[in-house]
Chain A
Amino acid sequence: MHSDKTPASAPRSPARRRVSLGAAALIAGSMMPFAAFTADYPTAKVNTTGLAVTDDVVKVGILHSVTGTMSISETGSVQAEKLAISQINAMGGVLGRKIEYIQEDGASDWPTFAEKAKKLLVSDKAAAVFGCWTSASRKAVLPVFEQYNGMLYYPTFYEGLEESPNVIYTGQEATQQIIAGIDWIVKEKKAKSFYLLGSDYIWPRTSNKIARKHIEKLGLKVVGEEYYPLGHTQFNSVINKIKLRKPDVIYVIVVGGSNVAFYKQLKAAGIDMTKEKPALLTISVTEDEIRGIGGENIVGAYAAMKYFQSLPNENNTSFVKAFKEMWGEDIVIGDVTQAAYLGPWLWKAAVEKAGSFDIDKIRAASPGIELKTAPEGYVRIHKNHHLWSKTRVGLAQTDGQYKVVYETKELMEPDPFPKGYQ
C-alpha cells in the first residue's frame, strides 16, 4: 500500500525537555535495562508493516488544535502527552527505541483534522497518534484511522455510542460519569427533583438522556430539561425558571464560553451553591474551565469526573509536580489532561506486551492492560477499548480546585452502548 518508507517530515526532539525527578520516581519500578531490548527486538521483527520504526527511534503523532477556538481546551492535552513521552524516553523508551513526536495542528476545523490524520498515517507512518478532543473531530478522523489501520488514543470524556478497533478511549464514556454521580447526590443530598441543562449538541443531549433515564428509574422527578445554543451568553430566563421550579439538583452540562456566563449570572441572581439547596452537579467543568469562570463564582458546585488535580495519592503528587516543572507553576490540570497523559503510557504497555509495534498486535494486546502508575490511581483497558476507572465527585473551592468528597469503591465498567438508556 505504501511504497515510501522514509518519513516526510523531520522529527522534532522531545529529549531537550527537562525531565523531573518525580517522573523518574513514578516509573522507576518498571525500569528495565536498555540494551536488552534492541538485541531481543530487531526492527525487522517488531515492525512488519512499514511503520516509522528504526533501530533506535519510533515516531508517533500528536494531533490537537493549538490554534482556533478549541485551543483553549486542547492545549492541556498536548502538554500532558509531551510530558508522558519525555518521561518514557527518560526511562529508555519503548522496546529500546526513543519516541519522537510529529505534532500537527487540527486548527479547530474538522476537515483539517482528517487531512492531518491522513498525513500522519500515510506519509509519516506514525506508530500511534495521540489526539482529538471534540467528538466532531474524532468522527472526522475515524474513517482515516480505519482505512489506513492506525491507532488513535482519544482523551476526552464523551457521549459513548462508539467502539472502533482503531481507537483507545482513555476518557470516560457517558455512563461512567453520570450514573455514580447521580447516585451519590441522591443519597447524600436526599435529592428528589432535577433540572437538566446543557449546551445544544450531541454530548450534553446524549448525556442528559442517560441522566433522565437513570433519575426516572430511581423513581425521582425531572422538573425541566433545556438546551441553549453553543456560545449563548444570557441565562437569566432559565435561571428564573429554575427558581420557579425549585429543583433539589441543577444538573449542568454547559460548555465553552457559555460556562463562564452561566455561573456568573447564577451567582448574580442570588443562587448560592454553598447553601443546602439547590445543589449543582456538573460533568463539564474541570479545573481548566474554573480559571475562566473564577473560583469565587462556582464555589460549592459539585463535579462528577474521574480525576481532580487535588487527588490525594502518590502517583498524582509526582504527576502534578512533573507537570508543573515542565509547563509552569501556575498551570492547572483537568480531567481530560490526565486522560491524555495516560495515552502514551497505555500504548507503551501494549507495545511491550505485544513485543511489536504492529497495529494489529497492539490491538490484540490492549484489552486487559493495566496501568498502576496512572495519576487517577489504577486503570485497565476493557475489551471495548474504553477504560475501567473510578468515578469521583469533587466540591469546587474558591481557589479554583476541587476537594474530592466521594469516590466509587469499585472501578466503573465502561459501557458505550448502555442498554435501557437509549
Chain B
Amino acid sequence: MFSDYTMAELGSIFAMQGFAGLSLFSVFVLMALGLAIIFGQMGVINMAHGEFMILGAYVTYLCSNLFSEYLPGLFSIYFFLAMICAFIASGALGMLVEWAMIRHLYKRPLDTLLATWGLSLILQQTYRSVFGAREVGVTIPDWMMGALPLTDIVEIPINGIFVMILTISITVAVYFLMYRSGWGKQVRAVTQNRVMAGAVGINTERTDRLTFGIGCGIAGVAGSAFTMIGSTGPTAGQLYIVDTFLVVVFGGASSLLGTIASAFTISQAQSSIEFFLSGSMAKVLTLLTVVGILMLRPQGLFTLKVRR
C-alpha cells in the first residue's frame, strides 16, 4: 500500500500518525486518571464516571454562553476558568454522592456497581430535563481550534497539544498529591487498612470524601477538555466509560504508573491498527489483545507489592 507515495510523504504521515497516537494516549490518561483514583485507590466501581465528565462539559457550555453574553472581551481565555468551574462542580457533586450513597457501601464493593449505575441513569435524565435531549454546541475560542502547519502535509492540531499539556500537568499534580504529600499517605493508608488507619488517628471519613471528590473533579476537567474533540449531550458520558475501565483494569487497578502504561499501549495499538486496517477491526483486535493479556495476568500490567 505504500508504493504510490514518496519517502517525504511517508515520513510526514508517520509523524502525523505518531502524533495521533500520542493525542489518543493523552485523552485516555485524562479519562482514566479520575477513575484510577476512585476505583484504584478506593475500590469503588464508579459507573457514573462518564456522567461526572459530562457535568464538566455542561459547565463549560454554561461558561461559554456566559462569557459570550456578558464578557465577550475575555472569551478567548474563558476555557481556563471553565475548567476550574468544572473541577469544582464535579468535585462537589462527587463529595455529595460519597456522603449520601457511597460511604454506606464501602463494605459491599460490588453493590457500588449497581448504585453508581443507577446514579448514572438519574444524572442522564437530569441533564436531559435541564439541558434538553439534543446535543449542545460548545463554542471553543478560535485560537484553540485549527492546526499548526509544519510542512504542507504535516499539520499538528492545536487542541491535541492543549490536551497533552493538560494531561501532563494533571498527572504530575496527581502524582505529587498521592505519593509525595501527607494527604496521599493518608489515602493510601485508608485504602490498605481502614481500621488501622482510623486507629492511628486518620480521619477516614474525611479522607474518603476528599478522595472521591478529587477523582470526580478530575473527571469534570476531562469532560471540559473533551468539548474540544467530542460531543456534549445527556448520554455522551457512555461513549467514554468502556474505554476508561479498560485502561484502568488493564493497567492494574491500584497503580498510577500502570494506568499510564496501559493507556500508552492501548492507544498506540489502536491508532496503528486503525491506520493499517479499519476502525471496527482496530476495536476488535485491541479488545481481543487486552482480554488475552488479562487472562494471563488477571491483576493487570502493574501491581503494588502488598503484604496480604
Residues of B1-42 whose CB lies within 8 A of A: 5, 9, 13, 16-17, 19-20, 23-24, 27
Query: Which residues of the partner chain B approach A264 to less than 8 Å between Cβ atoms?
Result: 145, 159, 228-230
Task: Let me know if B134 and A75 touch, CB within 8 A.
Answer: yes
- A261-B20 contact in complex given A71-B128, A226-B279, A270-B157, C-beta closer than 8 Å: no
CA distance A72 to B145 in the complex (A): 26
The answer to whether B231 and A261 touch across the interface, beta carbons within 8 angstroms, is: yes
Quick one: given A294-B137, A294-B138, are A243 and B13 in contact (CB under 8 Å)?
yes
Q: Contacts A69-B235, A261-B230, A288-B134; is A229 near B280 (CB within 8 Å)?
A: yes
How many of B's residues come within 8 Å of A, CB to CB? Answer: 50
Q: Contact between A260 and B279 (Cβ–Cβ < 8 Å)? A: no
Q: Residue of A at shortest CB range from B132? A: A75
Does residue B192 face the partner (Cβ distance < 8 Å to A)?
Answer: no
Q: Is the CB of B274 within 8 A of A237?
A: yes
Q: Mark A70-106, 1 if CB is under 8 A from B, else 0.
A: 0110010000000000000000000000000000000
Contact present for B136 and A292 (CB under 8 Å): yes
Q: Contacts of B226 on A, CB cut-off 8 Å?
A: 233
Task: Check if B118 is an interface residue, CB within 8 A of chain A.
Answer: no
**Would you call A268 an interface residue if the criterion is a C-beta within 8 Å of the partner chain's C-beta atoms?**
yes
Contacts of B274 in A (CB 8 A): 237-238
Can you name the residue of chain B whose Cβ is closest to the Cβ of A70? B133
- B291 interface residue, CB < 8 Å from A? no
Task: Please tell me if A35 contacts chain B, counting CB pairs below 8 Å.
Answer: no
Distance from B263 Cβ to chain A, minimum over Cβ atoms (Å): 13
A267 interface residue per 8 A CB criterion: yes
Interface centre among A75, A257, A267, A293, by most B CB within 10 Å? A257
Give Cα distance in the complex from A288 to B239, angstroms: 20
Q: Is A417 an interface residue (CB 8 A)?
A: no
- A290-314: contact bitstring with B at CB < 8 Å (1 yes, 0 no)? 0111111100000000000000000
Instruction: State whether B20 touches A240 (Cβ < 8 A).
Output: yes
Contact indicator A227/B279 (Cβ below 8 Å): yes
Instruction: Evaluate contact between A234 and B24: CB separation under 8 angstroms.
Output: yes
**CB-based contact B146/A270 at 8 Å:** yes
Indicate if B211 sits at the interface (CB-CB under 8 A). Answer: no
B171 at the interface (CB under 8 A from A): no
What distance in Å separates the Cβ of B239 from its nearest Cβ neighbour in chain A?
Answer: 5
Chain B residues whose CB sits within 8 angstroms of the CB of A270 once the complex forms: 146-147, 149, 155, 157
A228 at the B interface (CB under 8 A): yes
Q: Who on chain B is nearest to A245 by CB?
A: B4
Inter-chain contact B157/A269, CB cutoff 8 Å: yes
Q: Is the CB of B24 within 8 A of A67?
A: no
What residues of chain A lie closer than 8 Å to B149, measured between beta carbons? 270
In the bound assembly, the distance between CA atoms of A260 and B282 in angstroms comes to 21
Within 8 Å of chain B (Cβ to Cβ): is A259?
yes
Contacts of B71 in A (CB 8 A): none
Residues of A close to B147: CB separation below 8 A:
268-270
CA distance A270 to B149 in the complex (A): 8
In whole angstroms, how far apart are the Cα atoms of A296 and B282 in the complex? 30
Per-residue 0/1 for B269-301: is the Cβ within 8 Å of any A Cβ (1 yes, 0 no)? 011001100111011000000000000000000
Instruction: Report if A413 contacts B (CB, 8 A).
Output: no
Q: A244 at interface (Cβ–Cβ under 8 A)? A: yes
The answer on a CB contact under 8 Å between A241 and B137 is no
Does A407 belong to the interface (CB within 8 Å)? no
Measured in the bound complex, the distance between the Cα atoms of B135 and A231 in whole Å is: 14
Tell me if A232 counts as interface (CB < 8 A to partner B).
yes
Question: Closest chain A residue to B153 by CB distance?
Answer: A243
> Is B258 part of the binding interface, using a Cβ–Cβ cutoff of 8 Å?
no
If A229-B279, A240-B275, A261-B229 are given as contacts, then 12 extra A-B residue pairs at C-beta distance below 8 Å, sorted by A number, are A231-B239, A233-B229, A234-B229, A237-B282, A240-B17, A264-B145, A265-B157, A268-B145, A268-B158, A270-B146, A291-B134, A291-B136
A-B contact pairs, 8 of them (CB 8 A): A71-B133, A72-B135, A228-B279, A236-B19, A237-B20, A257-B239, A267-B146, A295-B137
Residues of B whose CB lies within 8 Å of any CB of A are: 5, 9, 13, 16-17, 19-20, 23-24, 27, 125, 128, 133-139, 145-147, 149, 153, 155, 157-160, 226, 228-233, 235-236, 238-240, 270-271, 274-275, 278-280, 282-283
Q: Which 3 A-B pairs have the closest CB atoms?
A: A292-B135, A260-B231, A270-B147
